[in-house]
Chains A and B, each alone.
Chain A
Amino acid sequence: MANLSLDMERGLLLGIDFGTTNSVVSIYNFEEGNAITIPIDGSNILPTVIQFEQDKEDEDKLSKVFGLEAKGGAIIYPESTILGVKRLLGLDEKVAVYVDEKEYLFLPEQIAGEIIGYLKQKADEYVREELNIESEFSGCVITVPANSTDKQKQMTKKAAIFGGFDEDSVFLRLEPAAAAISYAVNEVDDKTVLVYDFGGGTFDACILAVQITGEGEPAISILSTYGDNSLGGNDVDVIAADMIYEEFKSLTEGAIDLFDENADDGISKRQKKIAVARLMQIATQTKERFSHSQTAKVVLAPFVREPKIVNINMEITREEFLNHKRVNKLWDSDEVFEKFKGKSVNDIIDMTIDCVDKCLKAAKLEPGDVNEVFTVGGSSSLCNVSERLIGKFGKEPYKAKVSPALSISQGAAHYCNMIMMPAVKGPKVSERTIHPLGLEIAGRRFLTVVEAGMDIPVEGLEVEAPELLMTNFDNVSSMAIVVYEDTQWVDGELKYVNENGMKRLAGTSLRGIPQAPKGQEKVRVIFSVGQDNILKVSAKSISDLGAGTRLMVDDLYTQA
């Protein structure tokens, strides 16, 4: 039985990989110097699914079901089951849940918080019952995709706080870096490693340098990262679903639209929802089948019973699956459909390889400079991914000594150790900024304040804007402060904020600037980046006459 010694002041920290499809939690074992994944409901992974239902004892309350049980219920209760909430984090829209035909609205971070709370509850039970530790997890290291926006990071943190963790003890770290730790922990040689992290909802490519210190411990630094926050295995599932739906359309001669609830085509709303949920489920199974097989059978007999029985019985080959160009919008939003319309699985893999290329370029490396390719995330086992990586790097990718599904969470547990016991031996990660961060200035130009790849010390990185902002007109008393992130930067290139890859993080007005002729009043802007890569911006009028004004990033969001 593991014996975990603890930093009692901080309490226990839990390593959390909160994924789009599945979530995993791990704890650092101080005795053995390794990470242990905590089983939840009989499995290492918990499907990131929640289902709401009427509380039997209190009509005003909703009770919740999580994980596998909730996932199983998604077909019968599609309206009260939420899958893939991670993709919604950072959006302002509320999520509607219908229980007994009554509507309930939740913020995405509330729903995520419920799931994280369940992970915490189960992890607390585990350490109490299995490890005999009379304590609970007061904090966590929760991982986020390397290319998360600042707002997504904030909302992830908020979800963890909703989940029951202390505000001051929620630490965000990057998923590929966490995965790299689990890889590097047993490493004995200096290496340059590409982490290819293809998850359910996101893709990240990340290049890391692993250097073995004089004490024999790995020191990891992130050289570059590039990714797409709306590109994941789920998008591949939709292509499989599209193939099956095309067959359905052909069998019904297009007379039934399962995705238009109001269409009068002889099938009830509820039956449509059930059919869509079954379509989603079998599409995922079909995709998984192609990871190990050349053909897949799809049998849905019957698929629908109204207005007539329609049986789907088809066989798809791997080639067909890889090359099918998506036709239907299905359950995706207009924006997502626009991105993937006409795209095949091979195209999606190309998109990930494109991110890899950009990541290499940002690190100023060639494929031959990469010593190892390390694949993480469930979608990395998708057919053709390995072949493409072999083609590019001339070597077979590693999966992991630690299983790819668990490596991020176990890396997060190692991070827990670094935070709780910074003096203890073990791998160290030099945190660095990922993308250039800056301000919009006159002429819609982008003024870089924080460069990509700057080291972030433990106390945080503070960078003052290289220029003071000046008023553009006479007698103005406010100034727009708009913060951008350049996700597709090229060193030394002049950029404009309306170019591709520019993400507007937040914007607000700094008020209280003393009225004066244009250019006389100046504003100093300071960017602070913590080790969790969350940005805080403060702006202050420097005039002796002007009242000091300080704006933090939270204010920027609320006023954006």
Chain B
Amino acid sequence: MNLKANLLNILKNKEISESQFILGIDLGDFASSICYYDVSRKAPEIIDVSGGYGRANMPTALQYTTNSKEWIFGENAILNDPSGEDVSLSNVLSKLGSNFHIKIGDELKSGTYILARYIEELVKNLKNINPKAEIAGIIVSVSDYIADAALQELSEAFEQAGCSEKVIDFVSHRECALAFHFYTRKADKENLLLVDFGGRELRAGIYEINSGKNSVPANILSYFYDDKLSVGAVDKSIKDKFIKIYNEGADKAAQDILSQIDIFFYQNKDALFQRHIPKKGMRIYYNFVHPPLEYIFTKEDANEIVTPFKLGVKSFFADLFKRAGSGVEFGDITTLLCTGGGFEMLWVRELMEDLFPDSNIFIHKNPKAVNAHGAAIIAAAKLGLETGKSIEIEDRLQIKKDIGIIIETYGEKKFLPVIERGSFWWQGVKTLKLTARDVKGGEFKIKIHERDDTGYMTEIGSVSLGDLPSFSDIRQISLEFSHVEPKILKVRIEDKGFGEFLHTSGASGEVRIKVSQAGGAS
């Protein structure tokens, strides 16, 4: 991602005054955080959007009330039961990059417009700390491997929120998390497992950290994610359980509680899942129905919800280590760094202790805010305030350029991508079926190309089908693309004939090609 050099020069030459704030923002799927870098304490601090009365982070939720034509945000948007044509949105982030639009009042509004309103509100919290506050610079923490289209829309949202001039850069979650972790720690050779248990996915990466004085060299060994193990998936199970409890416990006059269940869930989840449920259970009250219903929520109820996820998480880590491919085992992890709202749940924290008994486990008291803390540190460093360590991630896992072939259709040659930029080396086999006509006998060769984001193409190798008989009609050729390890692409070509009309010659070929070295983290 490009650094706004001009902005940096301006900011670096300007003394940071008491009313100027260096910000780190993390827009999460479920909750967002805003941190500032406290210049006097030389430490990042979260801006508690709740004023201390609830969660410091702001739920990434908005509501538009048609009657008063106003937006409400965060917790208020969740706790307010919408009516009529009110629009509630709690998944704007997940729609980034899809050119999402929705009707607000009488107008069709874009996802970027809506996100811009949310960003404005999030940044407004800065005024709670200092009414004269101005923004010196912002680093925005974004998903690892965020798609270009999503990043483009996110950038537009900041522009519409009037902050684009202040945005120094967009930096990946993992870079932010590592920046925060190593802010006060020296980088020594070790294996570090970074786990981000977020709203949309459980993501984890194994990093080989090397010694560095002013930098943290990190070589990524394995990276994996699973959306079935997200906080969102856990939340859904909890809500389902709450509905089941009500349906089994309510009298004949039972009401439809679906419209209220999100509020009820929001009010009770933390108390039930952030601590041990006492032996006698914990009472939950469905006070929003009449007559109110009381239920004693027990350990067994909690176990019923979390057990499938525990098993899923165990299997997730087994896969992650299998993919590391360099013999790294569970016991080889020196440091386990945990981020994301999932770590607010006690069972997740306990599971990590069980799985990694010998590792140093770091769970911040506000795991949702780790990335924003790191972003604030990076922002301070970029503005020349801190000599914070730079995070240098060598990432060989993601394919940085499209890989494909050139085909001719209706006389026109064009590039056909087979493996798309942004996918991971371990994401299975991609197969392409080509139809060839009028092929003379002998060697049949297909050239393999890489294409970068500017459209520039480079030939990186070719695959041949030797001893193919001449034919004048059509014949199917199969091409299989897969990676055998991060930088090595295997391409297999095979003559498939044409069904019953033309049997295969049995000719095939295979080649291993070294693809371009992948770039950095972001």
Write the residues of chain A forming the contact surface with B, with a CB cutoff of 8 angstroms. Answer: 22, 24, 37, 39, 41-45, 56, 65, 68-69, 72-73, 75-76, 186, 188, 274, 278, 281, 285, 289, 292-295, 297, 299-303, 305, 315, 378, 381, 395-407
Is B51's CB under 8 angstroms from A22's CB?
no
Pull 30 A–B residue pairs with CB atoms less than 8 Å apart, ordered by A.
Answer: A41-B274, A41-B275, A42-B270, A43-B54, A43-B271, A44-B52, A45-B53, A72-B287, A76-B287, A76-B292, A186-B41, A188-B40, A274-B292, A285-B79, A293-B65, A293-B76, A293-B80, A294-B68, A294-B70, A295-B65, A297-B83, A300-B290, A303-B290, A378-B51, A381-B51, A396-B127, A396-B132, A403-B56, A404-B52, A405-B52
- Docked CA distance A397–B41 (Å): 23
Supply 20 further A-B pairs (C-beta < 8 A) apart from A43-B270, A68-B271.
A24-B52, A44-B52, A45-B53, A72-B284, A76-B294, A186-B40, A278-B287, A285-B79, A293-B70, A294-B68, A294-B70, A297-B80, A301-B290, A399-B128, A400-B128, A402-B52, A405-B50, A405-B51, A405-B53, A406-B48
Does B467 make an interface contact (CB < 8 A)?
no
- Docked CA distance A397–B81 (Å): 31
Does B186 make an interface contact (CB < 8 A)?
no
Q: How far is the CB of A271 from chain B (nearest CB, A)?
A: 9
Does B498 make an interface contact (CB < 8 A)?
no
Partner of B285, one of A45, A73, A315, A397: A73
Is A69's CB under 8 angstroms from B53's CB?
no
Q: How far is the CB of A129 from chain B (nearest CB, A)?
A: 11
Is A292's CB under 8 angstroms from B274's CB?
no
Is A72's CB under 8 angstroms from B52's CB?
no
Name the residue of chain B whose CB is nearest to the CB of A186. Answer: B40
Does B4 make an interface contact (CB < 8 A)?
no
Contacts A278-B287, A396-B127, A400-B129 known; A292 to B76 CB distance under 8 Å?
A: yes
Q: How far is the CB of A294 from chain B (nearest CB, A)?
A: 4
Is B271's CB under 8 angstroms from A22's CB?
no
CB-defined contacts of A56 to chain B, threshold 8 Å: 280
B122-138: contact bitstring with A at CB < 8 Å (1 yes, 0 no)? 00000111111000000
Contacts A45-B53, A295-B67, A406-B52 known; A398 to B283 CB distance under 8 Å?
A: no
Is B131's CB under 8 angstroms from A299's CB?
no
Is A69's CB under 8 angstroms from B292's CB?
no
Q: How far is the CB of A285 from chain B (nearest CB, A)?
A: 8
* Residues B14-68 near A (CB distance < 8 A): 18, 38, 40-41, 45, 48, 50-54, 56, 65, 67-68
- Docked CA distance A37–B18 (Å): 25
Partner of A395, one of B51, B131, B285, B291: B131
- Docked CA distance A41–B70 (Å): 34
Is A399's CB under 8 angstroms from B51's CB?
yes
Does B416 make an interface contact (CB < 8 A)?
no
- Docked CA distance A293–B66 (Å): 12
Contacts A41-B271, A73-B294 known; A22 to B287 CB distance under 8 Å?
A: no
CB-defined contacts of A278 to chain B, threshold 8 Å: 287
Does B405 make an interface contact (CB < 8 A)?
no
Q: How far is the CB of B64 from chain A (nearest CB, A)?
A: 11
- Docked CA distance A396–B127 (Å): 9
- Docked CA distance A301–B38 (Å): 49
B365-406: contact bitstring with A at CB < 8 Å (1 yes, 0 no)? 100000000000000000000000000000000000000000
- Docked CA distance A65–B296 (Å): 13
Does B282 make an interface contact (CB < 8 A)?
yes
Is A188's CB under 8 angstroms from B18's CB?
yes
Name the residue of chain A whose CB is nearest to the CB of B73. Answer: A292
CB-defined contacts of A42 to chain B, threshold 8 Å: 270-271, 273-275
- Docked CA distance A396–B133 (Å): 11
Q: How far is the CB of A426 from chain B (nearest CB, A)?
A: 14
CB-defined contacts of A400 to chain B, threshold 8 Å: 128-129
Write the residues of chain B forming the contact surface with A, with a CB cutoff of 8 angstroms. Answer: 18, 38, 40-41, 45, 48, 50-54, 56, 65, 67-68, 70, 72-73, 76, 79-81, 83, 127-132, 270-271, 273-275, 280, 282-285, 287, 290-292, 294, 365
Q: How far is the CB of B502 from chain A (nearest CB, A)?
A: 69
Partner of B50, one of A65, A72, A302, A403: A403
Is A403's CB under 8 angstroms from B67's CB?
no
Is B65's CB under 8 angstroms from A403's CB?
no
CB-defined contacts of B132 to chain A, threshold 8 Å: 396
CB-defined contacts of A293 to chain B, threshold 8 Å: 65, 68, 70, 72, 76, 80
Contacts A69-B271, A186-B41 known; A297 to B48 CB distance under 8 Å?
A: no
- Docked CA distance A381–B68 (Å): 20
- Docked CA distance A316–B275 (Å): 38
Partner of A75, one of B41, B76, B285: B285
- Docked CA distance A76–B295 (Å): 12
Q: How far is the CB of B128 from chain A (nearest CB, A)?
A: 4
Q: How far is the CB of A231 from chain B (nearest CB, A)?
A: 20
Is B45's CB under 8 angstroms from A401's CB?
yes
CB-defined contacts of B83 to chain A, threshold 8 Å: 297
Is B40's CB under 8 angstroms from A69's CB?
no
CB-defined contacts of B80 to chain A, threshold 8 Å: 289, 293, 297
Residue picked from B79, B130, B282, B287, most chain A C-beta under 10 Å: B287
Q: How far is the CB of A357 from chain B (nearest CB, A)?
A: 22
CB-defined contacts of B52 to chain A, threshold 8 Å: 24, 37, 44-45, 402-407
Name the residue of chain A whose CB is nearest to the CB of B40. Answer: A186
Contacts A42-B271, A396-B127 known; A69 to B282 CB distance under 8 Å?
A: yes
- Docked CA distance A32–B155 (Å): 37
CB-defined contacts of B67 to chain A, threshold 8 Å: 295, 315
- Docked CA distance A407–B129 (Å): 13
Is A289's CB under 8 angstroms from B45's CB?
no
CB-defined contacts of B50 to chain A, threshold 8 Å: 403, 405
Name the residue of chain B whose CB is nearest to the CB of A2. Answer: B365
Q: How far is the CB of A460 from chain B (nearest CB, A)?
A: 34
Is A398's CB under 8 angstroms from B130's CB?
yes
Name the residue of chain B whose CB is nearest to the CB of A40. Answer: B275
CB-defined contacts of A402 to chain B, threshold 8 Å: 52
CB-defined contacts of A65 to chain B, threshold 8 Å: 283
- Docked CA distance A396–B124 (Å): 13
Contacts A69-B271, A76-B294 known; A295 to B68 CB distance under 8 Å?
A: yes
- Docked CA distance A73–B292 (Å): 10
- Docked CA distance A97–B83 (Å): 39
Q: How far is the CB of B150 from chain A (nearest CB, A)?
A: 29
Name the residue of chain B whose CB is nearest to the CB of A304. Answer: B290
CB-defined contacts of B291 to chain A, threshold 8 Å: 274, 305
Q: How far is the CB of B53 from chain A (nearest CB, A)?
A: 5
Q: How far is the CB of A181 from chain B (nearest CB, A)?
A: 16
Name the residue of chain B whose CB is nearest to the CB of A297. Answer: B83
Q: How far is the CB of A39 from chain B (nearest CB, A)?
A: 8
- Docked CA distance A186–B131 (Å): 16
Contacts A42-B274, A43-B271, A305-B290 known; A398 to B70 CB distance under 8 Å?
A: no
Q: How far is the CB of B433 from chain A (nearest CB, A)?
A: 55
Residue picked from B38, B65, B128, most chain A C-beta under 10 Å: B128
Q: How far is the CB of A21 from chain B (nearest CB, A)?
A: 10
Name the residue of chain B whose CB is nearest to the CB of A63. Answer: B280
CB-defined contacts of B280 to chain A, threshold 8 Å: 56
- Docked CA distance A45–B51 (Å): 11
Q: How far is the CB of B520 from chain A (nearest CB, A)?
A: 32
Name the residue of chain A whose CB is nearest to the CB of B74. Answer: A292
Q: How far is the CB of B257 from chain A (nearest CB, A)?
A: 13
Is A302's CB under 8 angstroms from B129's CB?
no
CB-defined contacts of B56 to chain A, threshold 8 Å: 403
- Docked CA distance A302–B280 (Å): 32
- Docked CA distance A315–B52 (Å): 29
- Docked CA distance A68–B285 (Å): 10
Name the residue of chain B whose CB is nearest to the CB of A22. Answer: B53
CB-defined contacts of A404 to chain B, threshold 8 Å: 51-52
- Docked CA distance A68–B76 (Å): 19
Is A69's CB under 8 angstroms from B131's CB?
no
Q: What are the nearest 6 A-B pairs in CB distance?
A: A403-B52, A405-B52, A396-B131, A42-B274, A72-B285, A42-B270
CB-defined contacts of A407 to chain B, threshold 8 Å: 52
Partner of B290, one of A22, A37, A302: A302
